[in-house]
Amino acid sequence: MRIQPRAGRIGQSNRGPVSIGRQQSSQPITFPAPKGGLVTAVDMASQQPGAATVLRNFLPTLTGCKIRGGSQKKGLAAGGGDVKSAFKYKYGSNEKLFMATATGIFNMTSPAAPPTTTAADVSGLNGGDWCAFQHTNAGTSWLVCVNGADDRRLYNGTTWSTTAITFTDGTTMPQLNYGWLFKNREFFLKNGTLGAYYLATNAVSGAASLFPLGGVMKKGGSLLTGFSWSLESGDGLNDMCVFVSTEGEIAVYAGSDPSSASDFALKGVYQIGKPLGKNAWIRAGGDILIATTDGLTPMSQVFQRDRQALSLVSVSRPIEDDWRRAANATGTGWTLKQWPEQNLVFVAFPENTVVTDTTFVLNVLTGRWSTISNWQALCYETLQGGLFFGSFDGYVWQGDTTGTDAGLTFSATYLSQFSPAGQFGQRANATLAHMYFRAKSSPKVRLFARADYDKSTPTFNSVTEGDATSSEWDVGLWDVAIWDGVSELVRYDFRQNVRAAGDMIAVGCVITSGGDFKLDLEVDLATVQVSVGEASA
């Protein structure tokens, strides 16, 4: 008798059921344009769409980031000392740019081109860490400069002078290291003390009166910096005089006459992190931002929170880890400079072996950050809408111009935040990257992927040159530019094979700038194709 097998039955064995293979799935991960700027202080589960873990040599914008311009040597200070500080004079149409080394002050408004040196306007000095502010009275606008090592210097738009201040306690002008203007009265701080001095209203010389704060600042140290600040936007009825110590104590006074206890009243003493330099603060809208060891602290928050809570509202919170690393490496000598035309703030600090060749850049409209390298800037200043910085060996540079750094190419690098392909812990293999850009001409781009917080970035030697036929005014060449050519940014996209494997995937790009013209390029949306595997744990 013949036995017929049953239909629909699959043969079994003592090895268990037959295994039927499944095709591995592939899916895209989308990364928005990096309008969140550089974010390094974030945990694995709190990655922010639109943030970047690396954003080097890009400038943060409202919609993402754009590649910076290059830099050119504009001047060389005689003597070749490092440029310690930068400041400018502006009154009417008269605008002058000054850079200072340890031995002199140099007019760098229209300097001779290097290697020709520029002679000092003021020479034979003992220090270059100047504080400068402007005071206008009786039809003359004075640039008032003190550095804690030399006599106070005044500049009236044409010449420098050393108009005397007299003291009753043996203090001398070279001991004044910082000054500011409050309600038409000049205030000064003295080296290593908790005493401030002030002149008569509208005076630029004469007798100085002592305003002691030793009984107010309980933690000791010395006075480091000061400024006027208003609860309103700008000077007004609520304008207050602020004194800041090296220990991070802030004493706030209201009134106009420091000689009157009833008129000039103490409003409170508050605590912040230790400030990182006498010139390490800026005005931003109606607020003041102070660079401290805890971050870039808004003055408006000092009244409302204790020191520990201030770090939570610090403007530098997105880059807190990088900020603290730099602050621990060099706790003084920081400078902040705003570039109003671009809504950017540049944060420079002394060279060190921990955080090297780095400038932090903040967009004050968005609160987003990036970094700049390859400039080795020690201080920044602006002139007629342009950006300038001082560097080592007496060189003065113009930044964000042309497509190279002194004729040498530079690379701009972006790496997105890290994102899981599916659930956390699920392994993924990145195979294909797709990224969009907005530019006036097609760039040369290298795309790459990284996994599991690997922030290493590749090199890329293919150079993108700016467009000589650009129709942009003051960029295109006369008789070369096509004035009816492309003036708007055009969208370009690139697909390239990439390789990365891990639980978290990120996508990035490298662009190398070269040539005589600044690139006009912004980073947009990106995707990376991944194959999702089994859970790793």
Would you state the pLDDT for residue 285? 78
What distance in Å separates the CA atoms of residue 157 and residue 501, rounded to the nearest whole number?
62
Task: For residue range 329-388, list pLDDT tens digits in order.
Answer: 999 999 999 999 999 999 999 999 999 999 999 999 999 999 999 999 999 999 999 999
- The residue among 124 and 423 whose pLDDT is bigger is 124
Instruction: Give, as one character, the DSSP assignment of residue 32.
Output: -
Would you state the pLDDT for residue 480? 44
Percent of the chain with pLDDT over 70: 88
Give every CB contact of residue 524 below 8 A, 6+ residues apart in sequence. Answer: 33, 64, 435, 436, 437, 438, 491
If one counts every other C-beta atom within 10 angstroms of the C-beta of residue 88, the result is 19
Contact 463, 405 (CB under 8 A): no
* N-to-C CA span, the chain: 55
Checking if the pLDDT of 471 tops 60, the result is no
pTM of the model: 0.90
Rounded mean pLDDT, 210-227: 95
What distance in Å separates the CA atoms of residue 334 and residue 292, rounded to the nearest whole number?
10
The tokens describing 532, both together, are 């999702």
Q: Give the H/E segment covering residue 346.
A: strand 344-348
Question: Residue 136: which of 181, 189, 70 has the closest Cα?
Answer: 181
Rounded mean pLDDT, 48-62: 94
Question: Residue 69: which of 524, 535, 521, 532 has the closest Cα?
Answer: 521
Q: Is 54 helix (H, G, I), strand (E, B) or coil?
A: strand
Task: For residue range 249-265, list pLDDT tens digits in order.
Answer: 999 999 999 999 889 99
The residue written with tokens 């002691």 in the block is 212
Rounded mean pLDDT, 392-420: 96
